[in-house]
Amino acid sequence: MQTQSKRRYYTYIVCFMFFAALLLSPATLAQTSDCGIADTISYPIDRTFFHKAQGFAVSSPRHQGRYHTGEDWYGMRNQSYGQPVRAAARGRVTYSYTLGWGRDGGVVIIEHEFPDGTIAYTQYGHMTETDAYPFPTRFECVEPGQVIGVVGDARPAPHLHFEVRIANPDTPGPGYSWVNPYDEGFRDPQKFINNMQVRLKNGYA
């Protein structure tokens, strides 16, 4: 009886390893991660409605002088909450959690590959989801301009925290850093978008 149990046990193990190897094969992983090339990029919010309330690498008195790792975009008074947030470019979701920043809302991170081989990640923080605009799931492919959530009820007022980075593809991060954010792989979002728009327009590859 014990011999039969052992055989059955080893059979289960072999079957499990086989299916695990199949799921994690290079072909399967490539199919999961291939969401296409980002050939356009734009801001995640409507800039005729939102304005930049805090820039990149700015020292914040509210956060003991630490440096901002992204940009904060704020709309008209009492009208930011619930405004749609859109994917800046085509890509693959690497992180998505409605409580990514706890009390300060959800976070989505998207990986983008550009025609010249540049890999960058955009992060959207202080968001919430609605029935009409749920968060995309991890590994989901998103298209440029696709709504990925809405501005949540973050402190001190509803706004979008937007980051561009070349590292940490699936970690929300604190939003502020004691050192220069550029040295930690963060990039100035507005400068990155403006520069990449010019490169894409000119067919840079």
Could you tell me the end-to-end alpha-carbon distance of the chain, in angstroms, rounded to an integer?
A: 66
Q: What is the rounded radius of gyration, in angstroms, for the C-alpha atoms of the chain?
A: 20
* Nearest partner of 150 among 48, 75, 82, 62, judged by Cα: 82
Say if residue 151's pLDDT is above 60.
yes
DSSP class of 135: P
Say if residue 6's pLDDT is above 80.
no
Distance in angstroms (rounded) separating the CA atoms of residues 136 and 160: 17
Highest mean pLDDT among 75-84, 91-100, 169-178: 91-100
DSSP for 75-116, please give it.
-STTT-TT-EEE-SSSEEEEEEETTTTGGG-EEEEEEEE-TT
**pLDDT for residue 62:** 84
Say if residue 30's pLDDT is above 90.
no
* Nearest partner of 36 among 143, 124, 133, judged by Cα: 143
**What pTM value is reported for the model?**
0.83
pLDDT in tens, 48-68: 999 999 999 999 988 889 999
